[in-house]
Homo-oligomer: A and B are copies of this chain.
């Protein structure tokens, strides 16, 4: 199958003329998508490659086709829809992901894909075509909440991870990516990394409190923090909690708690750009009166400065080894994911800044605290991101919320940036 990248119909818009997005239609699509996998509290659970994810994918693909777009699915399950341009050039791509964490919100990822649909719908309504084709992508397993690493689909798309390795990745429930893709019918036949992309723009909620607290409308995202995810497994000796003198213990649980507090203290000790989180922990046998013989936990470290991030990793590892050695507890660790900090391309960030200014929107130049598919696309083309505020900074939480006016502002800004990218010489 060859995707049709050009079309003769439709007039070309000028760089000073931008169709208006239909905000109500954007909100409606968000509502409809989020009926798939809806959970109590207004949130969404569409863990990657589950039935709920399949259901959301099916609905999204149908929406794309209803806009006259050709949709391809590649072997890692990434979906790409093409709105043809006047010329047979690599497309300008927008998009994000529609998988969520277990206690996911309505906007994380979904907003970027739905805004892409709205941009195409508005272009169609206005009867215009752009010089370059426009692609909308939804990438597989961005969250990493079921399979690791996160950002898997976009990582594979840009050649950063072999397909076979990604397909073999095991899930928290014993499944594998490959088997689950087959099961839900999303192991497609499109070649990996096609189409080649001219440039990439991801519109996303901030997922942090900065824009909301400062009252700023748009975040001009200059780059993404480096991310380091490590799993530690500590092996001590289980023993009766009442009869074993403190000095004779090999308490894996105590070591885990001590390392967790070290992670927190380290993040505070470094400057404000260091983040450290212990989000998951498990003791065995996990009984009130038995000293844990095993503790398994994760450490999530992030920094915009790659050197500082490596220093933080080294400090945590050294402290963990030292603590465990003192307690007579064995330690092993494995990296679950690691990405260096990414700087976005001025081609995109300058357009985001310029069009924000033209629309009279207040802006803050900022890094992204979360990992995003855009950082993967940045390996192969000029890429960037637009942030809109998250109320209270809540995300990965069913109460995640962005004001409708902010959602609409962001989509209109995306329209202008996309038109400028697609029509540039």
Pairwise interchain contact B242-A370, C-beta atoms closer than 8 A: yes
Given contacts A150-B289, A242-B369, A245-B209, contact A264 B254 (CB under 8 A): yes
Given contacts A102-B285, A289-B101, contact A244 B300 (CB under 8 A): no
Q: Does residue A24 face the partner (Cβ distance < 8 Å to B)? A: no
Question: Could you tell me the distance between the alpha carbons of A395 and B249 in the complex, rounded to whole angstroms?
Answer: 12
Question: Could you tell me the distance between the alpha carbons of A264 and B253 in the complex, rounded to whole angstroms?
Answer: 11
Pairwise interchain contact A227-B239, C-beta atoms closer than 8 A: no
Note all chain B residues with C-beta closer than 8 A to A286. 279-282
Q: Does residue A67 face the partner (Cβ distance < 8 Å to B)? A: no
Copies in the complex: 2
Mark A219-247 against chain B: 1 for CB-CB distance below 8 A, else 0.
00000010101000000011111111110
Instruction: Tell me the A residues contacting B by CB distance below 8 Å.
Output: 101-103, 143-145, 148, 150, 206-210, 225, 227, 229, 237-246, 248, 251, 253-254, 256-258, 260-261, 264, 267-268, 272, 274-283, 285-293, 298, 300, 302, 336, 368-371, 390, 393-397
Question: Could you tell me the distance between the alpha carbons of A333 and B238 in the complex, rounded to whole angstroms?
Answer: 25
**Cross-interface CB contact of A285 among B101, B291, B298, cutoff 8 Å:** B101
**Cross-interface CB contact of A395 among B229, B243, B282, cutoff 8 Å:** B243
Pairwise interchain contact B253-A278, C-beta atoms closer than 8 A: yes
A323 to chain B, nearest CB (A): 10
Given contacts A253-B278, A260-B257, A261-B254, contact A397 B288 (CB under 8 A): no
Given contacts A240-B208, A370-B242, contact A283 B279 (CB under 8 A): yes
Pairwise interchain contact A229-B288, C-beta atoms closer than 8 A: yes
Can you add 16 more A-B contacts, CB < 8 Å, to A251-B277, A258-B264, A277-B291? A101-B285, A101-B290, A207-B240, A208-B244, A237-B397, A240-B369, A240-B395, A242-B275, A246-B275, A248-B393, A251-B264, A253-B260, A254-B264, A254-B278, A279-B290, A288-B300
A398 to chain B, nearest CB (A): 9
Pairs across A and B, CB under 8 Å, 10 listed: A101-B285, A103-B285, A103-B290, A209-B245, A241-B279, A242-B302, A242-B368, A253-B281, A280-B287, A288-B298
- The 7 residue pairs across chains A and B that have the minimum distance between CB atoms: A208-B243, A243-B369, A257-B260, A241-B277, A242-B370, A240-B395, A257-B257
